[in-house]
Amino acid sequence: MSKKLFKEALVAINVMKKTGMEISELCIHMETPEGEIMELDIDIDEDTGELVKSFNRFENQDEYSQYLKEYEALTESEEIPEGILYN
């Protein structure tokens, strides 16, 4: 089953590539039959243009959900500094 999933994922990525759409981040979410979750993130650093890769592994859905809640709380708490305007 894994081989089939990987093949279809690569087909989908290649189709998107052919459209010419620019992307700045790629996130791949994978789950095992046992419920383990793996997440691969590949970003492009805005300042250097270099690739930044990260890999997270979670034992189960509860652990992954907790990670997402903590990440969301962290990003929501970021305030725009006074005198800064983002476009």
Flag whether 5 is in a domain: no
Flag whether 70 is in a domain: yes
- The total of structural domains in the chain comes to 1
pLDDT in tens, the chain (87 residues): 689 999 999 999 899 889 988 888 899 999 999 999 999 999 998 899 899 999 999 999 999 999 989 888 877 765 555 554 443
Q: CA 83 → CA 28, 76, 77, 78, 80, distances in Å?
A: 37, 19, 18, 15, 9
Report the predicted TM-score, pTM, of the whole model to 2 decimal places: 0.69
Residue 41 lies in domain: 23-76
Flag whether 46 is in a domain: yes
